[in-house]
């Protein structure tokens, strides 16, 4: 760790929570330089839905590199891109009766969000974008303006303009439908909130603390957007691609978003890749109006295409559903076993967690889990949620190991509050 500690900037973060040097990984297990093994309930913050170095994807990736396939293609046409586009249309869009055009922005989530925001502003001629309390959309200036976290926002060093934050579903308690607030503010034209170019939403807030919007709330949000001429952007970067079960997280609510941002697990192998899905009639870009050097990361296209094999049928979706039940039940057991913690289970699908009344407990659980061989991060504004997010295809052994460690670790934390 010395090299890292002396040469890498103070901004480094996860290497402080998980202080070891990782070396190799496969499926739901990582190994450090000492040969210690870790169960992965973290999944690259959602970028490794198919686990580490999935053998099928790896084979395709190696073959592509061996054959001197184009590596870096900007936005030139390449065989790898053609294959991805055709396969994505066939396996994902067509069965869901979706008709999006695909934009390849820079290969990170925040690049996709920036592109979507730009396009929404161009199409509507408006400037503001409504986002939600506890939202997380990225670290570049445009995305940060629609992100909730105050610590991250202050990092901008400048005031963040053109974002209007409103309460997410549940933010004002059970009794208030928070969209009443948004609707009232948009209605009548005299609230001081100008009608936005777009509303950007995560159907389940991941970093924000595993907050799940209800289907009805999401549908009403879409209706409001249509009524006020604002585009609906679903940021499906962390909870899309099967994390909640179906490929898109918004399928459960039957949404028909105007723009969808995908990244993280899109390449399937953890390689940088991002796309924006655009309703065809909104594809108002001029050629080159938004660009970026690495928008043609072809090895990622190759693994992304290979990963679509997981979506030839509904097997993965069902698997997620079954594991989600196991996970919920395990978390509820833990919560029930320690009533003093006043823990509640949050989340959906394979992004669930325990929210502790005392936020520091989650940090202790994560720290101790690492020591016991389990990677687990915290989420929420105060880091008070211990977040379980394994690879979707985690093998049964690792899944059980991880849940066992988690349960034991919570026991330990309860027994010895100084942990």
In the region spanning residues 283 to 322, those forming contacts with a second copy, defined by CB under 8 A, are: 283-294, 297, 299
Asked if 23 is part of the footprint of a second copy (rule: CB under 8 A), the reply reads yes
- State whether residue 344 is helix, strand or coil: strand
Using the rule CB under 8 A, which residue among 151, 322, 339, 340 binds a second copy?
Answer: 151
Asked if 263 is part of the footprint of a second copy (rule: CB under 8 A), the reply reads yes
372 burial level (CB within 10 Å; 0-12, 13-18, 19+)? middle
Q: How far is the CB of 89 from a second copy (least distance, A)?
A: 6
Q: Per-residue x/- marks for a second copy, 154-183, CB under 8 A?
A: -xxxxxxxxxxx-x---xx---x---xx--
How far apart are the C-alpha atoms of 91 and 95, rounded to whole Å?
7
How far apart are the C-alpha atoms of 47 and 391, rounded to whole Å?
9
Nearer to a second copy, 9 or 340 (CB): 9
Q: How far is the CB of 141 from a second copy (least distance, A)?
A: 3
Q: How far is the CB of 223 from a second copy (least distance, A)?
A: 19
**Residues of this chain, 192-221, that bind a second copy according to CB under 8 A:** 192-194, 197, 208
**Residues of this chain, 73-102, that bind a second copy according to CB under 8 A:** 73-79, 81-82, 85-86, 89, 101-102
How far apart are the C-alpha atoms of 83 and 300, rounded to whole Å?
12
Nearer to a second copy, 231 or 334 (CB): 231
* DSSP 8-state assignment for residue 34: T
**Residues of this chain, 36-65, that bind a second copy according to CB under 8 A:** 44-48, 52-53, 58, 61-62, 65
Using the rule CB under 8 A, which residue among 28, 39, 92, 120 binds a second copy?
Answer: 120
Nearer to a second copy, 314 or 382 (CB): 382
Find the helix packing angle between 178-186 and 215-228, rounded to 10°. Answer: 0
How far apart are the C-alpha atoms of 52 and 393, rounded to whole Å?
10
**Residues of this chain, 129-148, that bind a second copy according to CB under 8 A:** 131-135, 138-143, 145-148
Q: How far is the CB of 321 from a second copy (least distance, A)?
A: 25
Using the rule CB under 8 A, which residue among 50, 91, 92, 111 binds a second copy?
Answer: 111
Nearer to a second copy, 382 or 416 (CB): 382
How far apart are the C-alpha atoms of 32 and 34, rounded to whole Å?
5
How far apart are the C-alpha atoms of 174 and 153, rounded to whole Å?
28
For a second copy, which stretch binds (CB under 8 A), given 107-115, 220-228, 344-352, 401-409? Answer: 107-115
- CA 243, 246, 251, 252 torsion: positive or negative? negative
Phi then psi dihedrals of residue 248, to 5 deg: -95, 140
Order of strands across the sheet that contains 377-379 = 344-348, 351-355, 385-388, 377-379
Asked if 366 is part of the footprint of a second copy (rule: CB under 8 A), the reply reads no
Q: How far is the CB of 47 from a second copy (least distance, A)?
A: 5
Nearer to a second copy, 252 or 393 (CB): 393
Asked if 360 is part of the footprint of a second copy (rule: CB under 8 A), the reply reads no
Query: Which segments within 230-314 are labelled E, that is strand?
Result: 231-235, 259-262, 275-278
Asked if 4 is part of the footprint of a second copy (rule: CB under 8 A), the reply reads yes
Q: Per-residue x/- marks for a second copy, 371-390, CB under 8 A?
A: ----------xx--------
Q: How far is the CB of 314 from a second copy (least distance, A)?
A: 24
Number of residues that bind a second copy (CB under 8 A): 148
- Separation in Å, CA 403 to CA 117, 329, 375, 413: 39, 11, 11, 15
Nearer to a second copy, 190 or 340 (CB): 190
Using the rule CB under 8 A, which residue among 49, 91, 114, 388 binds a second copy?
Answer: 114
Cβ proximity of 138 and 144 under 8 Å? yes
**Residue of 382, 345, 381 lying closest to 361 (CA atoms):** 382
Nearer to a second copy, 118 or 404 (CB): 118
- Please name the helix (run of DSSP H) or strand (run of DSSP E) that holds residue 205, with its range, or none: strand 204-205
Nearer to a second copy, 71 or 333 (CB): 71
Nearer to a second copy, 146 or 330 (CB): 146
169 burial level (CB within 10 Å; 0-12, 13-18, 19+)? buried
**Residue of 220, 216, 200 lying closest to 208 (CA atoms):** 200
């Amino acid at each position: 760790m010395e090299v890292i500690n002396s040469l890498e900037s103070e901004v480094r973060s996860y290497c402080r929570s998980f202080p070891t040097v990782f070396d190799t990984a496969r499926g739901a297990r990582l190994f450090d330089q000492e040969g210690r093994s870790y169960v992965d309930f973290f999944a690259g913050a959602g970028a490794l839905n198919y686990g580490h170095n999935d053998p099928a994807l790896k084979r395709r990736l190696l073959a592509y590199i061996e054959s001197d396939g184009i590596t870096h293609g900007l936005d030139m046409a390449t065989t790898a891109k053609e294959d991805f586009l055709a396969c994505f249309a066939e396996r994902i869009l067509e069965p869901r009766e979706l008709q999006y055009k695909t934009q390849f922005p820079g290969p990170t989530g925040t690049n996709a969000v920036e592109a979507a925001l730009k396009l929404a502003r161009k199409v509507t001629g408006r400037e503001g974008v409504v986002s939600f309390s506890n939202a997380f959309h990225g670290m570049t200036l445009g995305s940060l303006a629609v992100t909730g976290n105050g610590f991250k926002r202050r990092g901008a060093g400048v005031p963040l303009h053109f974002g209007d934050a409103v309460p997410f579903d549940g933010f004002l308690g059970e009794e208030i439908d928070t969209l009443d607030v948004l609707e009232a503010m948009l209605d009548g034209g005299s609230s001081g909130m100008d009608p936005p170019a777009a509303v950007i939403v995560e159907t389940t807030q991941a970093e924000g603390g595993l907050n799940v919007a209800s289907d009805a709330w999401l549908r009403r949000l879409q209706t409001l957007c249509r009524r006020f001429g604002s585009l609906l952007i679903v940021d499906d970067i962390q909870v899309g691609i099967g994390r909640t079960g179906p490929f898109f997280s918004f399928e459960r609510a039957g949404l028909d978003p105007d723009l969808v941002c995908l990244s993280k697990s899109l390449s399937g192998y953890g390689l940088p890749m991002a796309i924006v899905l655009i309703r065809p009639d909104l594809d108002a870009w001029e050629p080159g109006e938004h660009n970026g050097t690495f928008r043609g990361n072809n090895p990622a296209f190759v693994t992304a295409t290979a990963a679509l094999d997981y979506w030839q049928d509904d097997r993965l979706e069902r698997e997620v559903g079954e594991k989600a039940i196991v996970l919920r039940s395990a978390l509820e057991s833990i919560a029930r076993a320690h009533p003093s913690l006043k823990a509640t289970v949050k989340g959906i699908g394979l992004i669930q967690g325990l929210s502790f009344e005392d936020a520091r407990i989650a940090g202790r659980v994560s720290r101790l889990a690492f020591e016991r061989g389990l990677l687990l991060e915290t989420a929420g504004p105060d880091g008070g949620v211990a977040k379980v997010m394994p690879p979707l295809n985690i093998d049964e052994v690792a899944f059980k190991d991880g849940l066992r460690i988690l349960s034991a670790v919570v026991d330990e934390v309860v027994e010895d509050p100084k942990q």
